[in-house]
Amino acid sequence: MNEYLDIDPEVRQALEAGKPVVALETTIISHGFAYPENLDCAGTCERVIREEGAVPATIGIAGGKIKIGLSGGEIAYFAEHRDIPKCSRRDIAAICARKEYGACTVAATMACAAMAGIRFFATGGIGGVHRGAQQSFDISADLEELARTDVAVICAGAKSILDIPLTLEYLETAGVAVLGFGTGEFPAFYTRRSGCGVDYRVESAEEAARIVKTKTALGIPGGILIAVPIPQKDELNPVFINDNIERALNEADRQEIRGKALTPFLLAELHKTTGGKSVAANKALVFNNSRTAAQIAGAYRKL
Ligand code: PSU
Ligand code: MN
């Protein structure tokens, strides 16, 4: 398609044959988890997607090329190099022009997946409206990307480091449907419930795929959010995690952490203060989302 887009041959063949392909992001590798958990997590996501008969395409920018389907060696590079900058939509052109590396956020991964014709993308949690956004204006570019780019994002909801009710309000304004996978409540990442409702509850991969397909048939642009609660056995105690989140937010405030550094800072704080419990939950939900995304992509193909 262009000199900056480098699609892995296996991914290209799968796309040409109409086989299910699931995109994965690299910010979660470079900034979401510590090494070596990040490497383990990235590998397992790909394996889980393959087990469901889909082809994984981990997306990142390497030496100025948008790689759709990083190799194992390239994924290891993203896992080991913690200084690769977080790349959102606004950064894609500059990083490509300078032939640099970029770890793609949900927003950038959606944009790049769409360039390659990939329709499904599994991640942990999306960015959203930060608490206190009335003052800080900190609203993730992930939400605007969902408004404009035709990719279905399979996630475990949004963390309560964010303002979940305002995030859902923003999505409504942006015209993004929020589906609850086996739930009528939007999940809060580490926990299954947030107290906020979803727009539509779906019970199966087929039902979710049918809504995506219908949206395509209608020619309605923009993304769709499919929220899958963390498995019951992996869920954290809500009081425990919310206490830790409050502490992390206070610490961020005290250290005046802002902008793109905020989300990675909060994640790292939680990993520290929960004694690894947040990491275990984070991994479990990403694997679950990867599996569900592959199933939805598979069901989409059969429709
Ligand atoms: N939530 C997580 N792990 C992550 C992120 C969010 O649990 O790694 C990353 C995603 O890449 C998401 C980005 O797109 O953080 C949002 O950052 P910001 O809030 O700066 O838009
Ligand atoms: Mn932000």
Residue-level pLDDT at 1: 60
Residue-level pLDDT at 160: 85
Could you give the CA distance from residue 155 to residue 146 in angstroms, rounded to a whole number? 13
Verify whether ligand 1 is closer than 6 Å to residue 11 (CB atom): no
Q: What is the longest distance spanned by two Cα atoms in the chain?
A: 53
Which residue is listed with tokens 């956004």? 133
All residue ranges of the chain with pLDDT < 70 are 1
Verify whether ligand 1 is closer than 6 Å to residue 140 (CB atom): yes
Identify the domain containing residue 88 by its residue range.
Answer: 5-302
* Residue 257 Cα to ligand 2 middle (Å): 11
Whose C-alpha lies nearest to ligand 1, atom 7? Answer: 125
Verify whether ligand 1 is closer than 6 Å to residue 153 (CB atom): no
Q: What is the best residue among 84, 91, 92, 105 to mutate for testing ligand 1's pocket, by most ligand atoms within 8 Å of CB?
A: 105
Q: What is the best residue among 25, 26, 27, 279 to mutate for testing ligand 1's pocket, by most ligand atoms within 8 Å of CB?
A: 27
Q: Is the pTM of this model over 0.95?
A: yes
The secondary structure of 6-26, three-state, reads EECHHHHHHHHCCCCEEEECC
Could you give the CA distance from residue 28 to residue 49 in angstroms, rounded to a whole number? 17
Q: How many CA atoms lie within 13 A of 121 on its CB side?
A: 36
Verify whether ligand 1 is closer than 6 Å to residue 32 (CB atom): yes
Which neighbouring-strand residues pair with 62? Answer: 65
Domain harbouring 17, CATH code: 3.40.1790.10
φ/ψ (deg, to 5) at 91: -90, -15
Structural domains of the chain, count: 1
Q: Would you name the residues annotated as active-site residues?
A: 25, 159
The beta-strand segments (E) located in the chain are: 5-7, 21-24, 55-62, 65-68, 86-87, 103-104, 120-122, 152-155, 178-181, 200-202, 224-227
Could you give the CA distance from residue 120 to residue 296 in angstroms, rounded to a whole number? 8
Q: Which atom of ligand 1 is closest in space to residue 103's alpha carbon?
A: 11
Ligand nearest to the CA of 123: 1
Q: Which atom of ligand 1 is closest in space to residue 158's alpha carbon?
A: 1
